[in-house]
Amino acid sequence: MARLQPVRGTRDLLSDEYARHRVVADIARATVERSGFAEAATPIFEFTEVFNRTLGETSDIVTKEMYTFADRGGESLTLRPENTAGFARAVISGGLTQSLPLKYFYSGPMFRYERPQKGRLRQFHQIGIELIGVGEPLGDIEVIVLAADVLQALGLLDQTVLELNSLGDAKSRQAYREALVGYFSQHREALSDDSRARLERNPLRILDSKNEGDRQIIENAPLIADHLNAASSAFFAAVQEGLALSGVAFTVAPRLVRGLDYYCHTAFEFTTDSLGAQGAVIAGGRYDKLIETMGGPPTPGVGWAGGIERLAMMLSDAPVVARPVALIPLGEPAERVVLELAAGLRRAGVSIDLGYRGNLAKRLKRANKINARVALILGDDEIAANIVTLRDLDSGEQEAVPLDPATLLTRLHPAG
């Protein structure tokens, strides 16, 4: 029989690693909740059209990376490769455009079929926020500041650089597109096959190419800053001024683009080189045409997503987990007594690890292994005397304490 293994590009998240993931999500949630963002969730799979229409049918995600399948009813479904399109669909199907602005936080798994590498898996996890219904630069400023606040709360802001650019409005993007087509057409034969295909469909995507030959050509490509109209330039200037007033440092990255079709105006990434190759840990931007493209009313939006795997890898210290109390019953009478005792202590907020089997030495060994702070030992002698033996597992000292939850609590909480 073949050994069972996780599917390539997936991994089990057990105890210690999951604790780091939870720290990222919990700190992000608490940080953005202070600005009125409420947690929400969309289904892990959607009708394929939700992503085909929004991500662009010629995008790498749609053509190469989506997990798409037919269900038993013959419907084409896709595991979500990102979450913004799902929230846009939820706004439309739920009739939520009457309740704008909407402020959502999410945390959960996404799926893309791509080459697994450090911090990038086929099932990966993201935190993110969506601010829907705010078209002013103030919305961009707020979500970027919140991203910086999350990184600061995680102790990671100093390890990142905020890169910022403007993609302009529709008129600016069209002017820039024409300039790119003119430039790259002069170098068509030297471009990679993928970039030649993108030249016909969406030349902005060429700027994302990792091909070395393409990169050399891109170095001299036109800049979108030279094609922004007055309105787009004013919008970008307002975002930069707001970030400066908020104390968020940034650098303008003139070739930063977003790989999805629905973005406009502000695009940004918090990048780091602490994971090896330079990479984004939080990225986002404005998507004013997304909901309209999906059939809803014109509704602006801006948001970001952060990779939990990458952020968790950057945490310098393992999460501090409350040390449990090891409850060790010796014998059947003691096992019956500790059930009530364990229930009472847990309801009072004490973390209890209940020993199931083995002699005292083996159970104490386990207590030390799980980093318990004290052990409560209960055997026949303790039951007869209506006491429990409390052993401090750091000092080795022990004492007899009355077998009473209220008395025990006064002894356990100071030790925590």
Same domain for 329 and 289: no
> When comparing pLDDT for 201 and 248, which is higher?
248
Task: State the Cα angle at 81 between 151 and 95, rounded to 5°.
Answer: 90
262, 283, 314 - which closes a domain: 314
Same domain for 242 and 116: yes
Would residue 4 count as lying in a domain? no
Question: What distances in angstroms separate CA 53 from CA 61, 62, 133, one per listed residue?
Answer: 12, 10, 20
Same domain for 370 and 268: no
E strands, 14-116, are 38-39, 45-47, 68-70, 76-79, 102-111
- DSSP conformation class of 363: H
Same domain for 164 and 39: yes
Would residue 7 count as lying in a domain? no
Would residue 359 count as lying in a domain? yes
Residue 210 is predicted with a pLDDT of 81
Same domain for 80 and 34: yes
Residue 274 is predicted with a pLDDT of 83
- Rounded Cα distance, 90 and 67, in Å: 21
Same domain for 336 and 297: no
Would residue 97 count as lying in a domain? yes
Task: Quote the pTM value.
Answer: 0.85
- DSSP conformation class of 346: H
Question: What distances in angstroms separate CA 24 from CA 14, 56, 82, 371, one per listed residue?
Answer: 15, 31, 18, 23
Tell me what the mean pLDDT of segment 339-364 comes to.
87
Same domain for 395 and 248: no
> When comparing pLDDT for 75 and 2, which is higher?
75
Same domain for 356 and 260: no
Q: Does pLDDT of 245 surpass 50?
A: yes
Would residue 200 count as lying in a domain? no
- The per-residue pLDDT for range 148-172, each reduced to its tens digit, is 999 999 999 999 999 999 999 989 9
Would residue 192 count as lying in a domain? no
- The per-residue pLDDT for range 282-303, each reduced to its tens digit, is 999 999 999 998 999 999 999 9
- Rounded Cα distance, 210 and 196, in Å: 14
Q: In which band, very low, low, confident or very high, does the pLDDT at 50 lie, cut at 50, 70 and 90?
A: very high
Would residue 261 count as lying in a domain? yes
Residues 6 or more apart whose CB falls under 8 angstroms from that of 110 comprise 79, 80, 81, 82, 83, 123, 124, 125, 126
Domain range for 392? 325-411
Residue 320 is predicted with a pLDDT of 66
- Number of domains present in the structure of the chain: 2
274, 293, 314 - which closes a domain: 314
Phi, psi of 147 (to 5 degrees): -60, -45
Same domain for 344 and 278: no
**DSSP per-residue string spanning 136-197:** SHHHHHHHHHHHHHHHHHTT-GGG-EEEEEE---HHHHHHHHHHHHHHHHTTGGGS-HHHHH
Token representation of residue 304: 């970001």
Count Cα atoms within 13 angstroms, Cβ side, for 300.
16
Average pLDDT, the chain: 89
Question: Going by DSSP bridges, is the β-strand pair 374-378/352-354 parallel, antiparallel, or unpaired?
Answer: unpaired
- Rounded Cα distance, 155 and 318, in Å: 13
314, 344, 364 - which closes a domain: 314
> CATH number of the domain that 257 lies in?
3.30.930.10
Same domain for 392 and 275: no
Same domain for 347 and 305: no
Residues 6 or more apart whose CB falls under 8 angstroms from that of 27 comprise 150, 153, 154
Residue 415 is predicted with a pLDDT of 43
Would residue 392 count as lying in a domain? yes
Token representation of residue 72: 């038993």
Highest mean predicted confidence (pLDDT) among 42-46, 47-51, 216-220:
42-46
Residue 345 is predicted with a pLDDT of 87
Tell me what the mean pLDDT of segment 313-342 comes to.
85
Same domain for 401 and 281: no
> CATH number of the domain that 354 lies in?
3.40.50.800
Tell me what the mean pLDDT of segment 235-243 comes to.
97
Task: Of 2-16, 30-44, 91-105, 206-220, give the lowest mean pLDDT range.
Answer: 2-16
Q: How many CB atoms lie within 10 A of CB 114?
A: 15
Tell me what the mean pLDDT of segment 331-343 comes to.
88
Tell me what the mean pLDDT of segment 18-45 comes to.
95
Residue 1 is predicted with a pLDDT of 46
Q: 389 - beta bridge partners?
A: 377, 400
Q: In which band, very low, low, confident or very high, does the pLDDT at 374 lie, cut at 50, 70 and 90?
A: very high
Q: In which band, very low, low, confident or very high, does the pLDDT at 317 lie, cut at 50, 70 and 90?
A: confident
Tokens 């009125």: give the residue: 36
Q: 39 - beta bridge partners?
A: 105
